Amino acid sequence: MSLQKPMMRGLLAKRLRFHLPIAFGVALAVALSYKFGVTEPRKRAYANFYKQYDAVKEFNAMREAGVFESVRPSGK
């Protein structure tokens, strides 16, 4: 009994025909799950935050707390 010779000619092409579509499918699935699982909820969270955010009110609160060196609190 002799060992079967390994198939060397066309081995890369044969393996790529099998693995390349699988790799593209997995990459597409991961990209879509990241988009809809991470980025879309993050966009909604930022949109909800900035609907109610008042920059002038925040600035006045930080000014009164003494955060800024160049702007004095209104009582001084």
What is the pLDDT, as a whole number, of residue 75? 66
What is the pLDDT, as a whole number, of residue 69? 85
- Residue 76: pLDDT band by 50, 70, 90 thresholds? low
Q: Which amino acid is at 73?
A: P
Backbone angles phi, psi at 66, to 5 degrees: 80, 25
What is the pLDDT, as a whole number, of residue 15? 92
pLDDT digits (tens, 9 = 90+) for 16-59: 999 999 999 999 999 999 999 999 999 999 999 999 999 999 99
Q: Where are the domains of the chain?
A: 17-65
What is the pLDDT, as a whole number, of residue 68? 87
What top-level class would CATH report for the domain 17-65? few secondary structures
Residue 14 C-beta-side C-alpha neighbours within 13 Å: 5
Task: Give dist(CA 32, CA 76) in Å, integer.
Answer: 55
pTM of the model: 0.65
- What residues contact 71, with CB distance under 8 A and at least 6 apart? 63
